[in-house]
Structure 1
């Protein structure tokens, strides 16, 4: 079970059936829901503000979840997938959204439910990523409506990571 550290009198709260990889780091004012997974080298750093993560959410390898002191907390909803090496900082990610590998979501941005931030995209401060669309590029812009097979990506990815974590639970 990763590195879990108290900071400024606040100890991370971790929901039942949540998997935390051995070298994942969780610090301070962090609440993680049930049946989540926090993978290798991921950092969830609630030292300067609060971080709340819903149920059945996965924070993949090398991702960094942080916030801004006295300005912006971070809230991540249920059944969210945060891709490998993504940075989620001081923003809101609503339920059933996907933040792709290496993407960056900045302070006060809102990624609405059932939307995708493409791999490598940069969502600037105060941007709203609209539900039902893919945003890509630097800075991220609306590029495509999510429909057909693609609309299943949210539940499929969340379900897959719920399975993957069972391979490592003791």
Structure 2
């Protein structure tokens, strides 16, 4: 396992913003990863999250608010809390992460939104296990309430902690 940095804070504190800022400070061509970016309708209503690959800037729909009258088809998605997770972007992301791990030029990998979905064995669970088995340095965003359970489940014992509070970034 390489060095692990965990970016933590409450909901909407700015963890993703900090992840992207830290990515921008890394030497070009040495880092890659994914951020979960809020998605809004044309009318400005929150719809869910898109997955953004940091090295290319490409985005794909990833998580959407579940609609009360819709049951997501199990082959294409799964529900968690008030959200529907799309399986295709998850599978594609896992493929890309495997490629990133095998790329000798990439020394640092960043992954946003590790939490209760991964604790249940879904989402980025498999990708996170592969990342932790690699020698790559990792930056992970984990909500404060999920920090200890995630660290325990995935055997993350030693890590640097970056605490984000209301868009004010504090390093510990």
TM-score (structure 1 length as normaliser)? 0.25
Q: Please identify the structure whose Cα radius of gyration is greater.
A: 2
Q: Which has the higher contact order (CA 8 A, sep 6+)?
A: 2
- The alignment's TM-score, normalised by the length of structure 2, stands at 0.25
